[in-house]
Copies of this chain bind each other. A is one copy, B any other.
Amino acid sequence: MTQKKANARPALAQGDSTEAKLLDAGMALFGELGFKATTTRMIADRAGANIGSIAYYFGNKRGLYLAIAEHIGQHLKEKLGIAQLFAEAPPADELSPVLALELLNQLANKMIDLFACDREAEKWLMVIMREQVNPTEAFEHLYKNAFLQVHSTLSFLISRLMKRSAEEDEVLMETHFLVGRIVFLLVGKTPLLRRLGQTGGYSEETVVLAKGVMARHLRQLVN
């Protein structure tokens, strides 16, 4: 029996506590290697902690994974600032196509920066993506708190742009295609860098190019 703390974890493990270091290490490793290929020893080593501490704080390996999934939704929303986006915008029913395009461009650019450049976010973005491809226990949470948040925000803006209803399949498909283009900057990073003759990571010019091409695509949604 583990009498330990089990539940009732302090709101959001902060700083350099063992618990926080395990979450960070796990996020990086699960994102890079996936759940099965990541061993508890790797996590403990990377966190500079003992293997036993995983059980102490999270029950077991899967418990740590689920705890990580719960954090990711917050990370994503903070990074993209979806909340602020609407705070400054007018009420939904009087959002002009012009302003919708402007907001859509802002959000797309933020997403491109995140998926293409943010070396730290890269890790947990991959956790989200892996979970969409091979859903496990954590899928529901990540879908609802991460994927759907972004997807529905985008489809709302696109619906205003196209002067359609946000529930139409065509709007959803456009949204999915939009997300696919950006996601593939991360998922297909290795082959694209090859194609571009670059090494290491995307150059500043490449990111600008991606945003430019994306902006043109978005503009053409209005017609």
Q: How large is the interface on A (under 10, 10 to 19, 20 to 34, 35 or more residues)?
A: 35 or more
Type the 1/0 row for A30-50, where 1 means its CB is closer than 8 Å to any CB of B. 001111110000000000000
Given the interface pairs A34-B34, A37-B37, A191-B132, the reply to whether A213 lies near B181 with Cβ below 8 Å is no
Question: Does residue A119 face the partner (Cβ distance < 8 Å to B)?
Answer: no
A155 CB, nearest partner CB in chain B, Å: 8
A174-185 CB mask vs B (1 if < 8 Å, else 0) is 111101111111
Residues of B contacting A35 with CB < 8 Å?
A: 37
Is the CB–CB distance between A169 and B33 below 8 Å? no
Beta-carbon contacts of A104-134 to B below 8 Å, as 1s and 0s?
Answer: 0000000000000000000000100100111
Q: Are B37 and A191 in contact (CB under 8 A)?
A: no
Known: A148-B194, A176-B192. 19 other contacts (CB 8 A): A33-B134, A34-B34, A34-B36, A37-B37, A132-B187, A132-B191, A133-B187, A151-B191, A169-B196, A173-B210, A174-B213, A177-B184, A177-B217, A180-B183, A181-B181, A183-B184, A183-B187, A184-B184, A217-B217
